[in-house]
Amino acid sequence: MFSINTFQDGRKWEAVGRLEISGEAFCTGALISPSLVLTAAHCLYDPVEGTRVPVKEIQFLAGWRYGRASAYRHVRKAVPLPDYDYTGSSNTSRVRNDLALIELQHPIRNTTIDPFETDTRPENGAQVGVVSYAHNRSEAPSFQELCQVMSQQDGMLILSCAVEFGASGSPVFSFDDTGTPRIVSVVSAKAQANGKPVSLTAPLNESLGTLMAELENSGEKGVGVTPMAAGSRRDIGAKFIKP
């Protein structure tokens, strides 16, 4: 079995990056190809207005660590799952559809950045891990301790991982015996179950194919923006939901 210590160093996770939103907020995203970033659908919306953030105001910073990124990219297109409803009530339907795919204006072809493979929904009891930029560790990607899939409820996964604001869109990884990480889900929200913190996540399943088709059919395009200066940002945080 692999050693978890292998993955504690943030430098192992250059394909995980910060999504800068309008210079005021951030989420976490992960490369699944040189030009595609997987994240949470609610990261594409302005939390005050409830409207879609223009793609020209979104930037992906791959491997962001203490003021520098391994690659900076503007966004060409961004699509949520068609059944995702940002204005809908906080329920299991909203969580299980909380997935989005972002197409970068230019692929990231860097020998130190390897996009992640994806995998099918993990079973109950399976060990998984979350890599994120949360508000208390926002300057470098952090791998949390291994946690478990506690249950599956109406298509969403409930994990024993405790997440914080800024972890929205973070990839959830499964690991084989060699320690190869594969994305199986995306963090949507944090909650409490039996008085303990848990995370609610959207599994990929057939949703990734749906997102690919949506992206292919989308006519939305963005324009370039300049790199955003460091400064205070409000977190686009996960909503509190009690399963």
| pLDDT above 90 for 61 | yes
Which residue ranges make up each domain of the chain? Answer: 4-8+116-203, 13-115+206-223
Strands 240-241, 147-153: pairing kind? unpaired
Rg (CA), the chain: 16
Position 124 scores a pLDDT of 94
Q: Is residue 234 scored above 60 in pLDDT? A: no
Q: How confident is the model at residue 47 (pLDDT cuts 50, 70, 90)?
A: confident
What is the reported pLDDT for 205?
Answer: 84
Residue 200 has pLDDT above 90, yes or no: yes
- State the pLDDT at residue 75: 97
Q: Is the pLDDT of residue 193 over 90?
A: no
- Tell me the torsion sign for CA atoms 140, 104, 57, 46: negative
4-8+116-203 has which fold?
Thrombin, subunit H (2.40.10)
CA pair distance 48, 92, nearest whole angstrom? 22
Domain 13-115+206-223 classification at class level: mainly beta
Q: Is the pTM of this model over 0.75?
A: yes
Q: One fold for both 4-8+116-203 and 13-115+206-223?
A: yes
β-strand pairing of 196-203 with 171-175: unpaired
pLDDT in tens, 106-131: 999 988 899 999 998 899 999 999 99
- Residue 152: other Cβ atoms inside 10 A: 15
